[in-house]
Amino acid sequence: MRTFFAIFALAGLSMGGTASAQECTQTIEGNDLLQFNLAEVRVSAGCEEVTINLVHTGALPVTVMGHNWILTATTDYMDVAAAGQAAGAPEYLPAGDARILAATDLIGGGEETSVTFSLAGLEPGGDYTFFCTFPGHYVLMNGKFVIE
């Protein structure tokens, strides 16, 4: 019976939902409804570098519904989001802010971008948040970044 549950649990880990932690490249989508398609991104601590591909599946231009993908420690999330709002267009990012661990460019509907960054200095099991810094988006467009 125990073997059955172990096999069932392992099979469940490979089914849909969040992407596998063994992947060092992840794709996340943003749309015109202020949504990311993932609430959590998981990566393996064995990855030296991680690449995040951001795909804007909407149709609205960057000036109306731009999206980016920013990673910070969760304790810095709200302060960096506010600093991004204050920085304004075109990127809505505070220049040279060391609290930003990774960031993509801002893109509009139908566009794609990516960022590759090192996991050096990031802790497995650490508390990290990803979000979009376009005005007001960070409230709905955010999620957990998990290193396991």
DSSP 92-118: -S-TT-TT--EEPPPB-TT-EEEEEEE
pLDDT score at 23:
83
pLDDT score at 22:
61
The fold of 18-147 is Immunoglobulin-like (2.60.40)
Closest C-alpha to 128, from 104, 102, 92 = 102
Which residues have a Cβ under 8 Å from the Cβ of 7 and sit 6 or more positions away?
A: none
**pLDDT, tens digit, for every residue of 12-49?**
333 334 544 568 999 999 999 999 999 999 999 999 99
pLDDT score at 94:
93
> Looking at residue 25, what DSSP letter applies?
E
pLDDT score at 18:
54
Which regions of the chain are under pLDDT 70? 1-22
pLDDT score at 75:
98
